[in-house]
């Protein structure tokens, strides 16, 4: 993660570590990062706070005083300064903020957003009392994000790539042909499986039968610039954690997101559909690798659970059902979750979304009973979630 930090963000973390040692605290907290922001007037976070009318000198003095009691009993950490849980969460939220804004770096402004997201921290509470909240900061930063209009996005989000007894993509072949039209050059993202070459060959054969040429970033040194040289992107299924980790590692998320939000067709199946949503928190997959963050492409403002399975009343298996897992998700989050059974898919054209395919979808909302939708039907209301 730290290799993506801007120079100011790196200097910020260095000053925060010095604040930890100066106050003889046991670990680095968000408050130390806020102190560092106030000591680095050239960073974007400090400039934002000044633009909001805060008295930075007085705020710095108040924070220094607040941190002093911790120095009475605590001892300065020896060697490397550890991160407190709140600081780790701040970094994770900062990374998600950078991704959602379409930035391929992490700056002090993203750390400020992450800090405000850790509402139980003293740093967030101090800022909130001065009238600074995440919505205000995000609004100020929106002007620095690449131009992207949601009313131009074109998405085809498929639950599964293969139906029982059918060939690869056979059940959605006509939908893909209709969706892509004359878009001939397609970039296939193979990172959800280990065998990139074999996976690409399989997809290349299927798309050639539909009249499309396929290229893969693994054949082009994983360069994000390839996204600008294709007509569409298809992200295939496999392990969602491995897929997202690779997209982050090769810095493909900003490139794909920016083009998808300005009209380039995006196709996803299974894991490729998972990463099109806000995060991968509702995937069914095992976390075989650890991505930098769960934040995904955020092309739609809700979650999807592909391959959704209904409880089988005849089954003797006593493990959790998908519905129970989604209910647990809603114990922590409010965002809607759409369970896509195998055989159905979503087609998004700007601010209009239609459920298509041969099976129904099941919508879960926090504190509400699940609702069934049968294709074809309009689900555009979810784009306003």
| Catalytic site includes residue 195 | no
3 among known catalytic residues: no
With beta carbons less than 8 A apart as the criterion, state whether 187 and 216 touch: yes
| CATH superfamily assigned to domain 2-144 | Clp, N-terminal domain (1.10.1780.10)
Summarize pLDDT for 21-73 with one digit per residue, the tens. Answer: 988 888 899 999 999 999 988 788 888 888 888 888 888 888 888 887 554 45
What does the DSSP assignment read for 315-370?
----S--HHHHHHHHHHH--S-EEEE-TTEEEEEETTEEEEEESS-EEEE-TTS--
CA angle 124, 128, 131 (to 5 degrees): 145
Catalytic residue among 307, 310, 315, 380: 307
Catalytic residue among 32, 99, 196, 285: 285
Q: Provide the percentage of residues in the chain whose pLDDT is more than 90.
A: 60
Per DSSP, what are the bridge partners of residue 158?
269, 345
pLDDT of residue 77: 54
Per-residue confidence (pLDDT) for residue 385, from 0 to 100: 61
- Which has the minimum average pLDDT: 32-36, 120-124, 254-258? 254-258
pLDDT at residue 317, as a whole number: 82
Report whether 374 contacts 356 (CB < 8 A).
Answer: no
Sign of the four-CA dihedral 351, 241, 120, 304: positive
- Residue 270 annotated to the active site: yes
The three-state secondary structure class of 358 is: coil
DSSP-derived 3-state class of residue 205: helix
Can you read off the two tokens belonging to residue 356? 């298509």
Contact present, 237 and 163 (Cβ < 8 Å): no
Q: Which of 136, 116, 134 is nearest to 124 (CA)?
A: 116
Domain boundaries defined on the chain: 2-144, 150-384
- The reported pLDDT for the residue numbered 148 is 44
What's the pLDDT band for 320 if we cut at 50, 70, 90? confident
Residue entry with tokens 């209904």: 310
Q: What is the pLDDT of residue 55?
A: 83
More confident residue, 345 or 52: 345
Q: What is the DSSP letter of 319?
A: S
Per-residue model confidence as pLDDT tens digits over 274-315: 999 999 999 999 999 998 788 899 899 999 999 999 988 888
Query: Which tens digit of pLDDT belongs to each residue from 162-205?
Result: 999 999 999 999 999 999 999 899 999 999 999 999 999 999 99
Does residue 142 carry a pLDDT above 70? no
313 vs 311: CA distance, rounded Å: 6
- The secondary structure of residue 280, as a DSSP letter, is S
* 151: confidence class by pLDDT, cuts 50, 70, 90: confident
Neighbouring residues of 67: CB distance < 8 A, sequence distance ≥ 6: 19, 23, 25, 31, 32, 35
CATH topology for the 150-384 domain = Rossmann fold (3.40.50)
pLDDT over 80 (residue 207) = yes
Give CA separation, 231 vs 9, 46, 213, 298, in Å.
35, 41, 10, 20
Average confidence score pLDDT of the chain: 89
d(CA 30, CA 13): 10
Q: What angle do CA 23, 26, 28 make, to 5 degrees?
A: 80
82 contact partners, CB below 8 Å, separation of at least 6: 26, 27, 28
pLDDT at 147 over 50: no
- Catalytic pick among 99, 100, 270, 293: 270
């Amino acid at each position: 993660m730290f290799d993506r930090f801007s120079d100011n963000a790196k200097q910020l973390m260095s000053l925060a570590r010095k604040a930890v040692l100066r106050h003889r605290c046991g670990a680095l907290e968000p408050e130390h990062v806020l102190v560092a922001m106030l000591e680095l007037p050239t960073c974007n976070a400090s400039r934002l706070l000044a633009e909001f009318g805060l008295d930075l000198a007085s705020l710095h003095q108040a924070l220094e005083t607040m941190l002093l009691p911790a120095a009475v009993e605590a001892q300065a950490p020896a060697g490397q300064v550890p991160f407190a849980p709140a600081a780790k969460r701040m970094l994770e939220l900062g990374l998600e903020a950078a991704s959602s804004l379409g930035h391929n770096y992490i700056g002090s402004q993203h750390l400020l957003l992450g800090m405000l997201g850790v509402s139980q921290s003293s740093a967030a509470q101090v800022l909130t009392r001065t009238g600074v909240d995440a919505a205000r900061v995000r609004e100020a930063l929106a002007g620095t994000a690449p131009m992207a209009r949601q009313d131009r996005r074109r998405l085809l989000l498929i639950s599964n790539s293969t139906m029982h007894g059918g060939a690869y993509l056979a059940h959605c072949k006509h939908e893909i042909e209709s969706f892509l039209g004359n878009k001939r050059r397609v970039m296939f993202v193979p990172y959800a499986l280990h065998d990139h070459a074999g996976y690409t060959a399989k997809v290349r054969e299927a798309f050639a039968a539909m009249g499309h040429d396929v290229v893969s970033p693994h054949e082009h040194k994983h360069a994000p610039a390839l996204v600008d040289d294709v007509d569409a992107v298809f992200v295939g299924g496999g392990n969602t954690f491995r897929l997202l980790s690779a997209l982050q590692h090769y810095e493909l998320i900003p490139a794909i997101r920016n083009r998808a939000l300005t009209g380039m067709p995006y196709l996803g199946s299974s894991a490729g559909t998972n990463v099109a949503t806000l995060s991968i928190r509702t995937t069914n997959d095992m976390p075989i690798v650890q991505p930098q963050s769960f934040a995904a492409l955020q092309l739609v403002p809700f979650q999807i659970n592909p391959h959704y399975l209904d409880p089988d009343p005849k089954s003797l298996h006593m493990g959790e059902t998908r519905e129970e897992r989604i209910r647990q998700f809603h114990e922590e989050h409010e965002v809607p979750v759409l369970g896509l059974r195998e055989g159905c898919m979503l087609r998004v054209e700007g601010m209009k979304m239609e459920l298509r395919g041969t099976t129904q979808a099941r919508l879960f909302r926090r504190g509400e009973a699940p609702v069934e939708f049968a294709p074809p039907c309009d689900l555009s209301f979810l784009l306003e979630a």
